[in-house]
Amino acid sequence: MAGLRLENIHKHFGSVVAAREVNLTLPHGRFVCFLGPSGCGKTTLLRLIAGLESPTRGHILLDGKNITRTPAHKRNFGMVFQSLALFPHLSVGENVTYSLRVRHIKKDTRRKRAAELLDLVQLSGFADRHISQLSGGQRQRVAIARALAIDPLLFLLDEPLSALDAKLRESMQLELRLLQQRLGVTTILVTHDQREAMTMADMVVVMGPDNRVRQVGTPLEIYRQPSDTFVADFIGSSNLLQGSCMGAREVKIGDQHLVVAEMPAGISDGTSVTVSVRPEDIHVLPGAEKGDNRLHGTISFIRDVGSNVEIYLNCNGLQIISQSTPKGRPAVKQGDEATAILPAGSCVVLKS
Ligand code: ATP
């Protein structure tokens, strides 16, 4: 099969388990993000793919060929580390083509390739500069160009943008995504920043604190149909309401009933479940409204940050958070009675 495949990969360092029974198929040409909280095994998985670590168990296959024991320098993968690891005593051009020098490529060819790569990352004319004369964003681009110099089969990035300030980070995310689309190179980025993963990836691999892969999907699938409460909570924000199943399409939450669009397979009456509802799917109306999926309560807090408004509603001890645009802001204030409408199609039922 074309692409990268991880089969039953397990890695431990002494008694610490870094990655548990990972099975993944990453087709060529994708931008994949490994996303998860600190310590969940993202970097370990990337280092296993790069050949910088060996798995305790399992196999890594590239286009059907077993590369588990292939040394890192023979895999032809480009890697950018969090620290960038640029050579301070070499010029920008020499840094970019270092891997070609090691491969004994002639000086003229190297110089030409450096110019092409620097053009690609918008650093034309920087070849003779010293690394110390560059800004953080420019160093980032040099590290990217250096990793691309060998026309890598896989482009591996370990949180390369984490040291940049928020604005520069956002513009580099876009730049990197456009560069990957232009080159079509299969790319894996490690990040713990869910917004970064959602912006850049066309495939997200979410890892949990138990060092297992919890879900693989497009950013929208992960956001709209989270596989469990961990994913629902980690990606964006969500109202997670504990309840129990009642019949084919109803969940009892405290003394309220919620109608849901569908119930996961294998759930019977009385089973404990969690209903996940995104804040932007919840509408708030002034006053007490009766009807299906309407929860009545008091506005406990309103957070208006300009671009959106969050409304906190206390429904008999149950906290509901709704989010709207400034234009869609309901006519309510703190202390008012109000009703939250939770549309059935937005209520995703997860096994507790
Ligand atoms: P972060 O986002 O903080 O970088 P991560 O998801 O990339 O975290 P890893 O760096 O892969 O996580 O680490 C996974 C687990 O393995 C952690 O508990 C870590 O302490 C442990 N670990 C990683 N490398 C080693 C090592 N060389 N020796 C011992 N334990 C290690």
Of 52-56, 187-191, 195-199, the one with minimum mean pLDDT is: 195-199
Q: How would you classify the pairing of strands 348-351 and 186-191?
A: unpaired
Amino acid (1-letter code) at residue 298: T
Res. 101 pLDDT band, cuts 50 70 90: confident
Res. 210 pLDDT band, cuts 50 70 90: very high
Q: Which two tokens stand for residue 129?
A: 């500069």
Res. 1 pLDDT band, cuts 50 70 90: low
In the predicted model, is pLDDT for residue 169 greater than 90? no
User: From ligand 1's centre to the CA of 16, what distance in Å?
Assistant: 9
In the predicted model, is pLDDT for residue 231 greater than 70? yes
DSSP 304-320: E-SS-EEEEEEETTEEE
Question: Residue 146 phi/psi, 5° resolution?
Answer: -65, -40
The whole-number average pLDDT for the span 48-55 is 96
For residue 343, what pLDDT is reported? 96
The whole-number average pLDDT for the span 237-248 is 92
CA nearest ligand 1 atom 21, residue: 18
For residue 265, what pLDDT is reported? 87
User: pLDDT digits over 278-322, tens only?
Assistant: 999 999 999 988 888 999 999 999 999 999 999 999 998 899 999
CB 208 within 8 A of CB 226: no
CA nearest ligand 1 atom 10, residue: 43
Give yes or no for residue 192 CB within 6 A of ligand 1.
yes
Ligand 1 pocket mutation, candidates 43, 45, 212, criterion most atoms within 8 A of CB: 43
For residue 278, what pLDDT is reported? 96
CB 96 within 8 A of CB 84: no
User: From ligand 1's centre to the CA of 12, what distance in Å?
Assistant: 10
Q: What mean pLDDT, rounded, does the chain reach? A: 92
DSSP state of 173: H
Res. 13 pLDDT band, cuts 50 70 90: very high
Cβ neighbour number for residue 117 with a 10 Å cutoff: 22
Helix-helix angle 166-183:136-148, to 10 degrees? 20
For residue 114, what pLDDT is reported? 85
